[in-house]
A and B are shown apart, each in its own frame.
Chain A
Amino acid sequence: MKKISLAIAIAATAVSGLAFHASAEPVDEQLFIDGQEMISRAPAPEGHPFDEVLSGWLFREAETRAAEADSFANPGMLDVERGEEIWATVEGSAGKSCASCHNDAAETMKGVGARFPKWDADAKRPIDIELQIDKCRVDNMGAEAYKFDADEQKALTAYIKHQSLGMPVKLDLSEGEMQSWWDKGKDVYYTRTGQLNLSCASCHEASMGKYIRADHLSQGQVNGFPTYRFNTGGLVSIQNRFRGCIRDTRAEMPKAFSDELLALEVYVTWRGTGLSVETPAVRQ
């Protein structure tokens, strides 16, 4: 029976010539990473445009999904290992490593990746993991802040977030002025940019589940960042991904960690409330 329906499917493909995409739907599968169940579908929080939030994993091809489900097959795990080394490496004038204060990341960093960006009373703005690392380096280690997207920044961020693997994303919007940054981020999300005049919502809300050429449009969730991408062969940070999307609308890219992109990170992270942290996720 299976063979017959496959033959029919092939014939139908040959006739239409356009059936390149098996299905426009996210797959009906459950993500387990090394046997640990991930929440890849969750009821959306109140005020969310969708009823259900969906991990980008559900929108990827079978090989890509398989690579994320097995940490030996996930090339991003090499960066996580690199991050573990950085965690224990002394740097800066204070003679400290991350581990000097935070000991075993498996205990002290557990849950951190699920609740950032969070309010930073000193900076009077939300900070993400990357900025928290820089804060520690400058204030406590006597080291320099990382250059944006330095390999070390991506690896250490991935290592820290990976300690929350499987934990549901949950921001605290009641801290400080998080709510007004959420509002600002929402404005950014719906603002059309560039000559192509597209907003985040044009693709990831209005066209979610559809195909742009070969690319299956997901909800644009960020619960797996930094994410390993096969097409660039390395980890991609959230801020880099935001800038890349905006560039593709033929707009000038805002600076990494600018108010605009930090607000967007707050808002987009909230849009994935309830999804498991999947860092490092794998994408095509």
Chain B
Amino acid sequence: MNLSKVSQVALAVLFSSGASFAADVAPGDVKFQDLAVTTSLTGVPGNPEEGASVFKDRKLGNCLACHANSSMKSELFHGDVAPTVDGAADRWKPEELRAIVTDSKQVFGSETVMPGFYSLNVGVNVREDLVGKTILTAQQVEDVVAYLATLKE
């Protein structure tokens, strides 16, 4: 295998794995301060439309499993394990929303049921293909945060 082959493979791995990119803050390096994460995880502004897709996608955020959301009435069955996200932007600043989505245990304590969507503080016996991986990518977190920041009452 020559060098250019190696770099092609490396690039393919980088783009197919959904792993963090060089510019992303690594999950272990996210700085929580005063229940907030002030620095963007990617440096790229979040896209609220993408964030809405991630929010409702059962294989990504699956946020409706637990949180009701009046702005997604066409989606059937909103859970009530957790508070509604209606008016989330009135209650939380974007940097607080980023902290909650990234790793809610840093905000609500270790007992919270909510998974950390960009955290490697996970449960035991993680499925082998998911070891070392976060539920969402850094950019998906930024997108969800941008979406939640639009939810005003």
Contacts and interface: CB of A to CB of B under 8 A. Distances in A.
Most A C-beta atoms less than 10 A away, residue of B70, B73, B113: B113
Contacts of B81: 203, 207, 210-212, 217
B87 interface: no
A53 B125 CA distance: 30
A197 B115 contact: yes
B79 A211 contact: yes
B123 A197 contact: yes
A24 B68 CA distance: 14
Interface in A160-209: 191-199, 202-203, 206-207
A254 B127 CA distance: 11
Interface stretch (A15-23, A81-89, A135-143, A145-153): A15-23
B127 A18 contact: no
A213 interface: yes
B124 interface: yes
Interface in B17-34: none
Interface string A105-118: 00000000000000
Contact of A194 (B80, B111, B123): B123
A80 B127 CA distance: 35
A194 B73 CA distance: 31
Contacts of A250: 126-127, 130
Interface in B93-148: 111, 113, 115-116, 121-128, 130, 133, 135
Nearest to A249: B123
B37 interface: no
B92 interface: no
A252 B128 contact: yes
A81 B66 CA distance: 40
Contacts of A210: 79-81
Given A206-B113, A211-B81, A217-B81, A193 B124 contact: yes
B130 A20 contact: no
Contact of B127 (A199, A203, A214, A251): A251
Contacts of A18: 68, 70, 73, 78, 84
Contacts of B78: 18, 20, 211, 213
A62 to B, nearest CB: 17
Interface in A92-120: none
Contacts of A252: 125-128
B73 A211 contact: no
A17 B70 contact: yes
Nearest to B133: A195
Contacts of A251: 123-127
Contact of A24 (B80, B127, B128, B133): B80
Contact of A20 (B76, B121, B125): B76
B128 A202 contact: no
Nearest to B86: A18
Contacts of A21: 80
A211 to B, nearest CB: 5
Contact of B65 (A20, A197, A213): A213
14 contacts: A17-B70, A18-B68, A18-B70, A18-B84, A20-B77, A192-B122, A194-B123, A195-B127, A197-B123, A198-B113, A211-B81, A213-B64, A213-B77, A252-B128
Given A196-B123, A198-B113, 16 more contacts: A191-B124, A194-B127, A195-B122, A196-B135, A197-B121, A197-B123, A202-B113, A203-B81, A206-B113, A207-B81, A207-B113, A210-B79, A212-B66, A213-B79, A250-B127, A251-B126
